[in-house]
Chains A and B, each alone.
Chain A
Amino acid sequence: MKFSRILKNYSGKYGKYLLLCPLAMIGEVAMETTIPMMTANLINEAIPYSRNTGDLSHVLLYGGLMVLMAIASMGFGMLGSYLSSKGAYGFGRNLRQALFERVQTFSFKNIDRFSTASLVTRLTTDVNQIQGTVMMVVRMAVRSPIMLIMALVMALRLQPALVTILAVAIPVLAFAIGLIMKLAFPRFQIMMKKYDALNASVQENLIAIRVVKAFVRARHEKEKFEASADDVTATQRAAEKIVLWNGPIMTILMNASIVAVLYLGGQRIVGGTMLEGDLSAFITYITQILMALMMLSFLFLGFVLSRASIARLSEVLEEQPEIVSPDQPISTVADGSIVFDHVNFSYQGDPNNLVLTDINLRIRSGETVGVIGGTGSAKTTLVSLIPRLYDITSGSLQVGGQDVRKYDIHALRDQVAMVLQKNVLFSGTIKENLRWGDEHATDEEIFAACQAAAADDFIRSFPEGYDTDLGQGGVNVSGGQKQRLCIARALLKKPKIMILDDATSAVDTATDARIRQALRTQMADTTKIIIAQRITSVMDADHILVLDEGKVADYGTHEELMQRSEIYREVYTSQQKGVA
């Protein structure tokens, strides 16, 4: 996406501020370029006049005009500040909102493609970068060229011949700036990469500080960090070394131009074709012209720097959500029955690289199905297909007698509650978190769900009970407590299908049993799918699915499987060994 497109698409109602700002800037420039002319008149005409006549009226006139212009210029400048801030921050808000809303439409597959950290950077740093560029653009993109033109016109009116100096100065400056940028830009990119690596290593150390300490590797980490810090410093120096030339080159060009003006202008004054006061006015115009050029180069640099940000944002904005509701969606799920019919699945959609192969299952509404299988046997993948977190590659998958792709996604997911393996709670109180399941839930319903999830006791043991603040990411509760809260949250949805993906791994066996007991009695009509490592968590299920490398190895009751499934028996004995 281009800068102009992004600006057009997301300025929305703040567009008028962005459009008005250049007008204010033009007003400011008009004043700024007229003031030197006034100064010249004051010096050339008014002051000699009052010296000769003792009459101050001309001085007062020009002085008064200048003060008025300064005040007007100040007004325009302040207005420009307001308009550009209002416009740019409004634009930033819209852009951020659009990005966030786009992320909300992402399916799991879309999320897999971007890492969490990169999405966060895009929503924060990149948006700020573009917002800053927009602010600079509306202030400078019109202001600088106008300044250039007006100063040029004024200079031409004063002394057309002297303007030839610019014919030398401008190309030299443009060439120098261009060269500096061309050399500096790739170096800055390298520096940014090193800088990212440095920050990543700090972050890693923060996350894994216990490992570092447990293995007494502080010195090792320090050495790694030092190498990384030296890298940043070296690349930073390489880049800044180039940019350093900017200032001195500008100084030399500016002053050389001034000297040239003094020489050529001096000759003219001697010849009587120019007045002394014009000299300083002319110098001011030359300065303004070169400064405007410099500003344009900064603007250009800003564009170039924001290009990377825009590219990153475009990736998100143009990412098509993989999974959307169909045109005429079914909005109610009849019951909790599930049918897998020759289902194949691959994350890449590649039939040669299947994660799940030829899955055939018929689960009746209200049944409890356990899922057992080794690490990497695609248990989580299998259940993720039911609420359509991923779309199957081939075959058919039905929930409540209808193909999952025919449902309105929200309607389907409202009826399929899933407690994820990697689950999260959000900042806010326990109650607020539980209401995610049902925002209109009464306190009684919440208590009941927590009792079923064996969470009520520990919640009440907190001084503030259900109003305990969880902190960001639910840091204030232990792993097992978090899992139970997550189960309670899912229970509140009163779904037709409930999926527990290793949701009690950090809960002790007795509590685990209590939770399952509650599920069985209180959610008799709900289809329950339980993925577990512990065989005890599934052995009382109506059916147990044994998955092996993405295929159904067996399906049956505990007794049946004990008789015929070798894998199942192996798992069982590995867990029951030593029991008398």
Chain B
Amino acid sequence: MPPRGPRAIQKPKNAKGTFTRLLGYLKAHRLRLILVSLCILASTLISTTGTYLIKTVVDDYILPLKDQYLAGTSVDFGPFLRFLLMLLLMYVAGAAAQFFYNRMMMMVSTSTLNRLRKEMFDHMEDLPIRYFDQRTHGEIMSRYTNDTDTLREFLSQSFPQAVSSAFSIVFSLFYMVRLNVWMTLLVLALTPLMFFITATIGKKSGANFVAQQKAVGALNGYIEETIEGQRVVQVFCHEEKAKEAFEEKNEAVRVVGTRANTIASMLGPIMNNLGHITYVIVALVGAVLIVNNPEGASLGMLISFLPFTRQFSQPISNLSQQFNIIMQALAGAERIFDLMDEPVEADDGYVTLVRAKKDEQGNIIECQERTGMWAWKHPHKADGSVTYTECKGDVVFENVTFGYVPEKTVLHNISLYARPGEKIAFVGSTGAGKTTITNLINRFYDIQGGKIRYDGINIEKIKKDDLRRSLGMVLQDTHLFTGTVKENIRYGRLDATDEDIVKAAKIANADFFISHLPDGYDTMLTGDGANLSQGQRQLLAIARAAVADPPVLILDEATSSIDTRTEALIEKGMDELMKGRTVFVIAHRLSTVRNSQAIMVLENGVIIERGNHEQLLAQQGKYYQLYTGMFELS
């Protein structure tokens, strides 16, 4: 392993490994890449040969013709013209090669990026919720934006340029050696200096770019946060303060940005002019050679040799400028691969959910058609037999213990049961662990101790997708997707008919407001449903769960933003929705949970009371206090 810089964000941690892995992606385009290399080879060979052939033009055509002219013999420009036409033809071939490799490289880079994006997204969708908890959206997003952008630049530009530069160096060396070995050695002796300067500047600008990246990150974070909270800024007359804080961060970006950019953009003129200086040194030494040893070095040789010092130094400066981009691209690729290497949500379940019906004997059998009945298909490894258990919605927690982080337990020894068709409510102050319980039923998180059984089956044995399919959820934060209202409701069940959707919307009492939208059910919702009120969004979320028609429903503050009158209106619909289903309800509003079969009062991750409304009132405990608390003021 190469030594790592302490905070070198720009530098890949494992450049070699990342590069090898990236090559793996390019393997699919092996044939194309071979052709690309051949075309680059042809194109650079032609351009270096072109430089070399100028010597031929001068030495073999122009000068003899001049001699002929001076001698007074007739001058025939025919062969000269033919040679030049050949040269032109060669150049056209070179340009064609250049076109082909650019074109093929474009195809390679676009399809590689396409594949990387898809694989990254594919993988991301399968990551556990925990992964998303631990990272900001911006952090994950930048892999799709910045990191893929630098990678695109690398594949479509830096990669062919680097290959072409390498070929150029080799060919120039070849022609230089043919012209004069000693002068070639001189040029080679001057090269390390260029490398040294490039490396020094590169290192310096690298460090400065890291600093810039950091400052820009801080500034962008501040912009995002302030604009997001712009209304609060105004309500608190905090505009001046915000300007000051912004100015400070803005100035920091300017200072480090100026520094990083100055150093990086100096590389061009420095390398370019070092090329000129090399040129002069070579010319001087050449002249000395000619004076001292006219046999070993001719004027013609020197004239042809000189352009090669530039042909040789240019690709070196080119390579040096590509180096930073390549490093950045590898760092980006590494972050992309990091995401792809994150372990996906583990799923060892083998019990699946199937459509079922009862045969004449009353046995549950699997079937294809829609019956409204579902069963757990439970294969037994031991004897290869398969048993079916009806999916009814019987949920049991046995001494469940859980914490988001191992050090901090959120739920302590929770035991509870919900019989099929029962409505179970969780009541308690914020942070008591109500949402956590529902997050465990659908296995967003895995428990650390105890057992959760679903229709008698340990939920760890159930395939996660099937488990979640059997649970309809209306989450605390309502999220809608870009698309029409109809598409958003259909999210609950992709094969739902338009009638199903309208029916579900009616249950949620959303039909009324939807039909008043500009395009009714075909109204486009944008940006997380920003054009709807919070309450309307919740109604849509309920309709979405209704269309899914699951045996178990989880309503996490599903009606918190709906006013009680509307809630009263949808109550009938909700009752219908809940009929025959096991329902878990979380609500602050006690009126929402009153008619539950069992109410659990949670406090600090422990169930402190359980019972129905009347029983709990009779107990005169916490629930009683909460409930009567409503009246102490009247």
A571-B548 in contact (CB<8A): no
* Size class of the contact patch on chain B: 35 or more
Q: Which of A2-10, A113-121, A148-156 contacts B (4 or more CB under 8 A)?
A: A113-121
Give 17 CB contacts A-B under 8 Å. A70-B276, A73-B269, A81-B266, A119-B227, A207-B137, A213-B442, A215-B468, A222-B118, A263-B81, A269-B62, A272-B66, A473-B228, A479-B430, A510-B625, A510-B629, A540-B633, A570-B565
B80-A213 in contact (CB<8A): no
Closest to B292 in A: A54
For B121, the chain A residues whose CB sits under 8 A away are 202, 205, 222, 225-226, 229
For B299, the chain A residues whose CB sits under 8 A away are 47-48, 51
Contact A505 B125, CB 8 Å, known A89-B258, A251-B95, A534-B589: no
Q: Which of A101-109, A168-176, A397-405, A445-453 contacts B (4 or more CB under 8 A)?
A: A101-109
Contact A93 B430, CB 8 Å, known A105-B239, A218-B126, A513-B633: no
For A212, the chain B residues whose CB sits under 8 A away are 125
Contact partner of B482 (CB less than 8 A), chosen from A35, A201, A216, A417, is A201
For B303, the chain A residues whose CB sits under 8 A away are 43, 276-277, 280
A418-B235 in contact (CB<8A): yes
Contact A42 B117, CB 8 Å, known A202-B144, A256-B88: no
Please, how many angstroms separate the alpha-carbon atoms of A214 and B558 in the complex? 15
Please, how many angstroms separate the alpha-carbon atoms of A474 and B143 in the complex? 24
For A237, the chain B residues whose CB sits under 8 A away are 106-107, 110
Contact partner of B491 (CB less than 8 A), chosen from A215, A410, A479, is A215
Please, how many angstroms separate the alpha-carbon atoms of A143 and B95 in the complex? 28
B58-A558 in contact (CB<8A): no
A63-B284 in contact (CB<8A): yes
Closest to B257 in A: A89
Interface residues of B in 88-111 (CB under 8 A from A): 88, 91-92, 94-96, 98-99, 102-103, 106-107, 110-111
Contact partner of B430 (CB less than 8 A), chosen from A46, A205, A506, is A506
Interface residues of A in 100-139 (CB under 8 A from B): 100-101, 103-108, 111, 115-117, 119-120, 123-124, 135
Q: Mark B273-307, 1 if CB is under 8 A from A, else 0.
A: 11011011101101110110010000100110011
Highest count of chain A CB atoms <10 Å: which of B126, B261, B465: B261
Please, how many angstroms separate the alpha-carbon atoms of A20 and B478 in the complex? 56
B591-A576 in contact (CB<8A): yes
For A536, the chain B residues whose CB sits under 8 A away are 630-631, 633-634
For A207, the chain B residues whose CB sits under 8 A away are 137, 479, 528
Question: Is B132 interfacial (CB 8 A cutoff)?
Answer: yes
Please, how many angstroms separate the alpha-carbon atoms of A63 and B561 in the complex? 82
Beyond A199-B141, A213-B129, A472-B136, 9 additional contacts (C-beta under 8 Å) are: A35-B276, A78-B270, A81-B262, A116-B228, A248-B96, A270-B62, A272-B66, A473-B228, A533-B563
Q: What total count of A-B pairs have CB within 8 Å?
A: 443
B76 to chain A, nearest CB (A): 11
For A93, the chain B residues whose CB sits under 8 A away are 250-251, 253-254
A244-B103 in contact (CB<8A): yes
Interface residues of A in 58-93 (CB under 8 A from B): 59-60, 63, 66-67, 69-71, 73-74, 76-78, 80-82, 84-86, 88-90, 92-93
A86-B110 in contact (CB<8A): no
B95-A77 in contact (CB<8A): no
Question: Is B409 interfacial (CB 8 A cutoff)?
Answer: no
Please, how many angstroms separate the alpha-carbon atoms of A417 and B332 in the complex? 46
For A256, the chain B residues whose CB sits under 8 A away are 88, 91
Question: Is B431 interfacial (CB 8 A cutoff)?
Answer: yes
A103 to chain B, nearest CB (A): 7
Question: Is B140 interfacial (CB 8 A cutoff)?
Answer: yes
Q: Which of A288-296, A336-344, A346-354, A368-376 contacts B (4 or more CB under 8 A)?
A: A368-376
Question: Is B595 interfacial (CB 8 A cutoff)?
Answer: yes
Contact partner of B273 (CB less than 8 A), chosen from A74, A96, A478, is A74
B279-A39 in contact (CB<8A): yes
Question: Is A481 interfacial (CB 8 A cutoff)?
Answer: yes
A270-B273 in contact (CB<8A): no
A510-B626 in contact (CB<8A): yes
The secondary-structure label for the interface of chain B is helix
Question: Is B527 interfacial (CB 8 A cutoff)?
Answer: yes
Contact partner of B129 (CB less than 8 A), chosen from A107, A209, A271, is A209
For B563, the chain A residues whose CB sits under 8 A away are 373-375, 533, 571
B253-A241 in contact (CB<8A): no
Please, how many angstroms separate the alpha-carbon atoms of A200 and B145 in the complex? 11
A259-B265 in contact (CB<8A): no
B98-A51 in contact (CB<8A): no
For B324, the chain A residues whose CB sits under 8 A away are none
Question: Is B247 interfacial (CB 8 A cutoff)?
Answer: yes
Closest to A84 in B: B265
Contact partner of B102 (CB less than 8 A), chosen from A247, A373, A534, is A247
Contact partner of A111 (CB less than 8 A), chosen from B81, B231, B270, B625, is B231
Interface residues of A in 190-238 (CB under 8 A from B): 198-218, 220-222, 225-226, 229-230, 232-233, 236-237
Please, how many angstroms separate the alpha-carbon atoms of A108 and B589 in the complex? 31
